[in-house]
Each structure stands twice: as structure tokens, then as C-alpha cells.
């Protein structure tokens, strides 16, 4: 597919951006949307910009949850967003950890952020223009993954974002209190092609 047919997207970290940052979310009843999360996703939906979740989920490698359990958590996320008129277009997750757990999921990989693998897979599967796309995260690893993929970076101060901000240099292009404010700053830039 040629570059003209590709479109921008906004990649979203899950915990701390869309949902309350918790030590471990292992059950659907633990999923809680953050203030402004549904409004931010809804604004992307209305602008016809794909909203794609990219999340590290090493609880799989650690054996604390299986893919069926993770699917139930993501289904609950979808229900909560839908109740507020919003939806994500896809969810990509890394199940690996380089030093924790056992078996084939205990390994270094190219999909665990700060590596950019999840963004590259999503770009291939959804015909995305990475150079015109954005990543919204609350951690240094989200910004690093964005930069490694050639994606613009935004940091939200929800989740661990406030504590992580000092570690990130140079600072991301956008820093916002929460997702809806970040999306309000991103959408005009996408419309202007920057």
C-alpha cells in the first residue's frame, strides 16, 4: 500500500491513560476508566482517527492471568467505553517479560514497550502512517516506543505520568493532565499534518 493510502492513528497505553493505574488488573471488576478517558476516545471516534491500545501485560508471562482472562478485562474496558459513547479500534498487548515467569513468555522481545513492535504490527494491520500518528502514554517507556517507531509522543500526567515526566528527555511534544486534554491538543496537529 502506498503512503497516500495510509492514515494517522492515536496509540493509547491502557493503565494510567485509559484506566486507573493499579498494581495489577487481573479481573474485569478491577477495570475503572479514568476521568476524561472516554471523552478523549470519543473525540478520536468522531474525528475518524483510529484509537489503538498498545499495552504491556507481563501478568501473562508471570502466570497470574491467561489470555482468556485478559480478553475478559479488555471486554470490560470496551463495555465501559461504550456506555459513554466511545470505542477503541484495536488492542495489542505484549505478554512477555525478559526475566520474570516461566516458559516461552519469559523472554526479551520486540513488542514490550519501550520496544516499538506493537506499533509496527498495528501499522501493518491497519494501514497506518506512523509519521503522522501519535502515542499517548503515562511512562517513559511509552515515549521511547513512540520515538523508536517514528511516532509523535504525548504524556499524560495521570497514572504514573507526573512522576515519570522528570525522567523523559527531551520532553514529549504534548504534556497534558489527562487523555481528553491530550487528544484536544493532538487533533488539530493531525488535521494540519504535523
Q: 52-105, pLDDT tens digit by residue?
A: 999 999 999 999 999 999 999 999 999 999 999 999 999 999 999 999 988 899
Catalytic one of 15, 138, 142, 180: 15
Q: Is 129 a catalytic residue?
A: no
Residue 20 CB partners (closer than 8 Å, separation 6+):
32, 33, 34
- Give the active site residue among 3, 13, 23, 138: 13
> Among this protein's residues, is 89 annotated catalytic?
no
- Check if the beta carbon of residue 180 is closer than 8 Å to that of residue 36: yes
Contact 126, 154 (CB under 8 A): no
In whole angstroms, give the CA distance from residue 54 to residue 75. 15
Contact 163/182 with Cβ under 8 angstroms?
A: no
Supply the DSSP string of 1-70, one letter for each residue.
Answer: --GGG-B--EEE-SBTTTB---S---SGGG--BPTTHHHHHHHHHHTT--EEEEEE-TTTTTTS--HHHH
- For domain 3-191, give the CATH number: 3.40.50.1000
Residue with cell 479481573: 27
pLDDT-derived band at 1 (thresholds 50, 70, 90) equals: very low
C-alpha cell at 70: 485478559
**Grid cell digits, residue 13:** 497505553
pLDDT at 5: 62
Q: Are 135 and 146 in contact (CB under 8 A)?
A: yes
Tell me the pLDDT of the chain averaged across its residues.
94
* pLDDT tens digits for range 15-57: 999 999 877 899 999 999 999 999 999 999 999 999 999 999 9
| Cα torsion 80, 71, 133, 165: sign | positive
Whether pLDDT at 4 is above 60: no
First to last CA, the chain: 21
Model confidence over 107-158: pLDDT tens digits? 999 999 999 999 999 999 999 999 999 999 999 999 999 999 999 999 999 9
- Helix and strand tally (H, E) in the chain? 6, 6
Amino acid at each position: 500500500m502506498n503512503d497516500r493510502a495510509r492514515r494517522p492513528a492515536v496509540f493509547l497505553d491502557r493503565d494510567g491513560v485509559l484506566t486507573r493505574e493499579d498494581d495489577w488488573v487481573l479481573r474485569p471488576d478491577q477495570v475503572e476508566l479514568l476521568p476524561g478517558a472516554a471523552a478523549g476516545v470519543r473525540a478520536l471516534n468522531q474525528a475518524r482517527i483510529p484509537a489503538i491500545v498498545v499495552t504491556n501485560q507481563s501478568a501473562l508471562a508471570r502466570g497470574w492471568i491467561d489470555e482468556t482472562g485478559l480478553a475478559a478485562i479488555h471486554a470490560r474496558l470496551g463495555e465501559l467505553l461504550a456506555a459513554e459513547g466511545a470505542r477503541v479500534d484495536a488492542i495489542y498487548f505484549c505478554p512477555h517479560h525478559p526475566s520474570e515467569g516461566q516458559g516461552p513468555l519469559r523472554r526479551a522481545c520486540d513488542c514490550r514497550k519501550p520496544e516499538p513492535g506493537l506499533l509496527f504490527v498495528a501499522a501493518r494491520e491497519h494501514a497506518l502512517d506512523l509519521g503522522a500518528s501519535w502515542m499517548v502514554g503515562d511512562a517513559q517507556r511509552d515515549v521511547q516506543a513512540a520515538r523508536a517507531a517514528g511516532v509523535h509522543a504525548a504524556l499524560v500526567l495521570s497514572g504514573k505520568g507526573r512522576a515519570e515526566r522528570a525522567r523523559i528527555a527531551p520532553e514529549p511534544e504534548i504534556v497534558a493532565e489527562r487523555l481528553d486534554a491530550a487528544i484536544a491538543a493532538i487533533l488539530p496537529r493531525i488535521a494540519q499534518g504535523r
